[in-house]
Amino acid sequence: MFKSILVVLLFSSGSLACGPHPEERPIIFVIFGATGDLAARKILPALSNLAREEALPAKFAVVGVGRRDYTHEDFRKHFQGTDADFQKKIFYSKVPFEEPFSYDNLKGLLLKIDQDFGVKSNRIFFLATQVSFFAPIVEQLGVHGMIADPVHGQEWTRVMIEKPFGHDLESAIALQSSIEQTLAESQIYRIDHYLAKEGVQNLILFRSKGDFEPCWNNRYIDHVQITMSEEIGIGSRANFWEETGLLRDVVQNHLLQVLSLLGSDLPDQNISKKKTKLLQEIRPIHLNDIVRGQYGPQSGILGYKQELGVPTTSNVETFAAAKLWIDNERWEGVPFYFRAGKRLPVQLVEAAVFFKQDPYPLVFRIQPNPKVFWHEREIALSGNTMHEAYETLLLDCMNGDRNRFVEKEEQYAAWRLLTPILHDWHSHAPLKPFPNYPAGTWGPEEALRLLSEDGREWRDPIF
C-alpha cells in the first residue's frame, strides 16, 4: 500500500501571491522606521515594484516616518530609478517615536494628502522599528485620531507589525494587551515573512492537494528534519543579536511555522487555527532535548566573540538544535528535529520527511531555489509566484487577507513552548563553554547526539 500511495506528483501552480485588485479608495502607506535597513532592502522596493506593476490603487501615497531630519526630497532618493509620477507620491515626516507632540506633524501630512485626493484614504501603518516602539507608536496613533473605526468607518486602518512580537510569552501578552487598547484584532497584521516565501507556499500547496495525506502519519513517517543553515555571521548587528539570539530570531517564528505547516491537519481556509492547535500539542521541551551553540574562529573567520560590539563574555547562542514531540494521534512516537545556526557550511533552508519504508526523504527546499523533490527528482514545480515575500504581504494586507499573517493565539503558543528554555539559558551558563563549534561546521557535537542516540543522523543537503 505504501508504494502505491507514494507516487511521483508532478504539478504546477499559478501565482500564489496575487489577490484581487485592491479597492479603488486611495491608500496611504505609512512606514515607521522608513530610514532603516528593513525599509531600504524590502519594504520600499516592494512598494516600488507593485506601483510599477499597477497593483496599487490609482491614488496612493507613501509616507516615510523616522527620526532623521529628512525632507521629502531626501526620502525620495530611496526610490531612484522610479518614474517622476511615482516620486511625487512619496513623502516624509520626522517623528521621534517617544515624543507625543511630534505625531501632530504626521497627522497634518496625512490630512493634507487626503485633501489632495478629495476623499479620506485607507491607511496601512507598517511598524519596522525596534519592538520597544510598537506599543508607544500604536498608542499615539490612537490618541491623535489616525486609526479608523473598524466597525463604523467607511475607510479602514490596518497595522502591519514586524517580528519579533515580544521577546517571550509575558512580553508578547503585555504587548498585545497594550495595542488592543487602540486596535481591534482585525486591524492587526503580525508579520512572519516566511509565510509568503515561495518555498513555504509550495509546502502549503503540496499538502493541500492531499495526495500524500493517507501516509502523512506515524504509521508511515519515521521522523522529520528541519534545517536552517546560514553561512554568514552576525556582521554589524551585535546589539540586535545580543538582545535576541538565534532562538528568538528564527526558531520562535520561521522554523515553528514550517513545523506547524508540516504537522498540522490538512490546511484549509483557516490555516492559523490548525497551526495553533498543532503548536499547543507539542510537548514541553526537555533540557536534554535541546542544544545551544556559538561559533568560534576558523581559517581567518572571526568567532562570534571577536565580532565588533560583542562582549567577550557573551553566552548568546548562534546555533540551536532540538528534538520535539507532538502529543496527538497522528504524530505519536515521531520525532521532529530542527537545527539552525550562523556560520554553518551552506546557505540553505529545507524540511525533510523520512518514511519508514523508503530510503529517500521527501524534501521541501525553501531556499535557495524553492522546490519539492523525492528520490532526488523534482516532483513539484516552483510556485511561479509573481511577487517577492514583502510584495505578497502588502497585497494581502491591502486585500484584507490574513491567511499569511500570524494570529494572536498562534503567537502565544510559539512563545509558550520556548519561553522556559529562554529563561533557563539566561539563568545558566552553557555546560560546555562557548564557543563550542568552529565557523564553517555543522554546529556542536551535541547536536549530532540528538539523532545518533535514536539511531539516526542529520541529512547531508544535496544541491
Q: Are residues 147 and 269 in the same domain?
A: no
Q: What pLDDT does 15 receive?
A: 35
Q: What is the CATH number of the domain that holds 347?
A: 3.30.360.10
Q: Which three cell numbers stand for residue 294?
A: 556559538
Q: Are residues 143 and 272 in the same domain?
A: no
Q: What pLDDT does 463 receive?
A: 56
Q: What pLDDT does 16 receive?
A: 35
Q: Are residues 198 and 150 in the same domain?
A: no
Q: Are residues 244 and 368 in the same domain?
A: yes
The single residue of 254, 286, 426, 428 carrying the catalytic annotation is 254
Domain assignment present for residue 357? The answer is yes
**94, 128, 154 - which closes a domain:** 154
Q: 72 an active-site residue?
A: no
Q: Are residues 266 and 413 in the same domain?
A: yes
Low-confidence ranges of the chain (pLDDT < 50): 1-22
Number of domains in the chain: 2
Strands 60-66 and 90-94, bridge-based pairing? parallel
pTM of the full predicted structure?
0.90
Q: Are residues 137 and 239 in the same domain?
A: no
Which of 7, 18, 111 is closest to 388 using CA atoms?
18
Domain assignment present for residue 93? The answer is yes
CA distances from 239 to 97, 102, 234, 331 (A): 20, 27, 10, 39
- Boundaries of domain holding 128: 27-154
Chain mean pLDDT for the chain = 91
Q: What is the CATH number of the domain that holds 81?
A: 3.40.50.720
Domain assignment present for residue 331? The answer is yes
Which of 25, 21, 48, 118 is closest to 388 using CA atoms?
48
**99, 123, 154 - which closes a domain:** 154
Domain assignment present for residue 187? The answer is no
CA distances from 326 to 80, 176, 239, 287 (A): 50, 27, 35, 16
Q: Are residues 203 and 132 in the same domain?
A: no
Q: Are residues 308 and 418 in the same domain?
A: yes
**123, 154, 185 - which closes a domain:** 154
CB count, 10 Å around CB of 105?
13
Q: Are residues 310 and 439 in the same domain?
A: yes
Q: What pLDDT does 375 receive?
A: 87
Q: Are residues 139 and 224 in the same domain?
A: no
Angle between helices 408-427 and 256-263 (to 10 degrees): 130
Q: Which three cell numbers stand for residue 326?
A: 507532538
Q: Are residues 148 and 216 in the same domain?
A: no
